[in-house]
Structure 1
Amino acid sequence: MSPPRPAESRNDAELILANRGFYESLWARAKLIGPERFNTWPLLRELAAGAPRRLEVAPGLRPRLPLDGTCFVDLSHAALHRLHARGASTVHGMIGALPCADASFDLVCALDILEHVADDDGALAELARVAAPGASMLLSVPLHPEAWTAFDDFVGHCRRYEPARIVAKLADHGIRIEHSAVYGMQPKSSRLLDLGQWYLTHRRERAMWWYNHVFMPLGLRFQKPLQWRAGLGATQGVDELLLYCRRG
């Protein structure tokens, strides 16, 4: 059997259906975790404090920017309802057609989203459109197409990026990488991933109990501290990168 490969042939409608089917159900059962619980917080807290106009796209129930003062755009009604209940400003929308005015944000955050959309150039164009000149932009992307697994398919990924490709794509939209950090919480065990996929597919209620009460708390507890490095940095063996960029 040949190994699974990135599914860039899927169109936006197919990807939206796959992502909505997975994440709407996930967020309906998951707990909202505040941004201060993640290892991104020490890096993003100061950035957020210096940016009065903030946007986070597709946070689900894992926002990385402060709930107070940030505009959150998501496709999931379940996630938006929970964020709004905690006092956040929420708008229903998609990364490819953001319901926001041009140049209206000083800080734009879109983590774990570009790999989910067929038209990533359209998504980057929208992020660049709503970012003010000189705005900070925070993105994360999975790397190396050869590292593709069935888990990528399961969670609705469309692609993994060659490092040179993401640099070029960002540059095409006037976005320059200033710093990066090795990032990601994906388990290393393929057996654990396979077991998790089976339970999420066939025993979702039980799977969500374990996710909320065991796996997510353990994942948060054992997060490694993140550290900025200049530019893209070394990428060999790196599964995912957090990118700190500037809008040109």
Structure 2
Amino acid sequence: MPSLALPQRTAADLRRINADFYESLWAGSRLVDPRRFNTWPMVRDLAMALPRRLEVAPGLRPRLPLDGTYFVDLSPSATKGLRAHGASAMRGSLSALPCPTAGFDLICALDILEHLPDDERALQELSRVAAPDARMLLSVPLHPEAWTDFDDFVGHARRYEPVMLVRRLAAHGWTIEQSAVYGMQANSSRLLAIGQWYLTHHRERALWWYNHVLMPLGLRLQKPLQWRAGMGSTQGVDEVVLLCRRT
């Protein structure tokens, strides 16, 4: 069941764009404590019950507790920063996780699946490392018709149709238990255009402003997540975070 993608760029193009963008981002970032994110109330309760934990591609914005979680990220700056704070982190790809089969009870993969040229392989890997009855926190952008220049710039390969996403997860043995509207993307197309211009022409300055001004402001302004059963209504929803259960 293929996802609906926008194939203007090759897989190699996507890998290069993502590697360049996120390595530049994490190289100038400081680690943000997981307790500062609006995912923490859900994560805290899950982590207490599920001690074998994996988070994939957290960068320096991990959502699972640093203590006791195994982190995998492609970025050298991200893995170095995580280790500097006492976390167990290894470089690796979601397409070939350096992890044991059925080794984890709680998996977190936020804002990553949409970047990968082969998301089917990624879903296979997430399912492989999940123990029976495991939980997974997953976030993805929705609605291909809502594609903007922002998606191109940050290296997205696709947006997901909600119905197809539910079916694809089910095909890999996952049931969506709860969901919530998620993400911090600006609604103003003009603001996005200005941000992309600065990132293109003055990347170092733009990333400084993001890391030191916009990100802290976004953390202060974020609202508590409103969880609802199943996928829920996705009308007008740009991005969703899902709590899935391995069945």
Deviations 1:177-232 (A, max 9, x none): 11101111111111111111111111122112211221111111110110211000
For 2:221, the equivalent position in structure 1 comes to 222
Matched ranges for 1:201-212 at <5 A: 201-212=200-211
Matched ranges for 1:45-64 at <5 A: 45-64=44-63
Deviations 1:148-180 (A, max 9, x none): 000000000000001011001101111111110
- In angstroms, what is the RMSD of aligned CA positions? 1.3
Kindly state the Cα deviation for residue 6 of structure 1 after the two structures are TM-superposed: 5.1
For 1:113, the equivalent position in structure 2 comes to 112
Q: Aligned partner of 1:177: which letter?
A: I
Matched ranges for 1:181-220 at <5 A: 181-220=180-219
Judged with a 3 Å threshold, the aligned counterparts in structure 2 of structure 1 residues 23 and 47 are, in CA distance, closer, same or farther, namely same
1:128 corresponds to 2:127: yes
Q: Aligned partner of 1:54: which letter?
A: R
For 1:161, the equivalent position in structure 2 comes to 160
CA distance in 1, matches of 2:37, 2:80: 21
Q: Secondary structure at the match of 1:237?
A: coil
Contact conserved, 1:33 with 1:61, CA < 8 A, in 2?
yes
Deviations 1:104-138 (A, max 9, x none): 00001100011001111110000000000100011
Q: Secondary structure at the match of 1:177?
A: strand
Kindly state the Cα deviation for residue 13 of structure 1 after the two structures are TM-superposed: 2.6
Deviations 1:75-111 (A, max 9, x none): 1011000000000000110001000010000001100
Contact conserved, 1:6 with 1:148, CA < 8 A, in 2?
no
Contact conserved, 1:43 with 1:226, CA < 8 A, in 2?
no
Q: Aligned partner of 2:136: which letter?
A: M
For 2:42, the equivalent position in structure 1 comes to 43
Greater alpha carbon shift after TM alignment, 193-202 vs 102-111 = 193-202
For 2:103, the equivalent position in structure 1 comes to 104
TM-score by length of 1: 0.95
Q: Aligned partner of 2:244: which letter?
A: C
CA distance in 2, matches of 1:51, 1:64: 14
Greater alpha carbon shift after TM alignment, 41-50 vs 228-237 = 41-50
Q: Secondary structure at the match of 1:134?
A: strand
Judged with a 3 Å threshold, the aligned counterparts in structure 2 of structure 1 residues 123 and 97 are, in CA distance, closer, same or farther, namely same
Moved over 3 A (4+): 8-12
Kindly state the Cα deviation for residue 9 of structure 1 after the two structures are TM-superposed: 5.2
Identity of aligned residues (%): 69
CA distance in 1, matches of 2:55, 2:119: 17
For 1:88, the equivalent position in structure 2 comes to 87
Give the count of matched residue pairs: 244
Deviations 1:30-74 (A, max 9, x none): 221111111111111110111111000000111000111100000
CA distance in 2, matches of 1:205, 1:18: 16
Q: Aligned partner of 1:156: which letter?
A: G
CA distance in 2, matches of 1:118, 1:196: 25
Q: Aligned partner of 2:55: which letter?
A: E
Kindly state the Cα deviation for residue 12 of structure 1 after the two structures are TM-superposed: 3.3
TM-score by length of 2: 0.96
For 2:141, the equivalent position in structure 1 comes to 142
CA distance in 1, matches of 2:11, 2:100: 23
Contact conserved, 1:7 with 1:157, CA < 8 A, in 2?
no
For 2:26, the equivalent position in structure 1 comes to 27
CA distance in 1, matches of 2:152, 2:37: 25
Q: Aligned partner of 1:236: which letter?
A: Q
Structure 2 gap segments, 5+ residues each: none
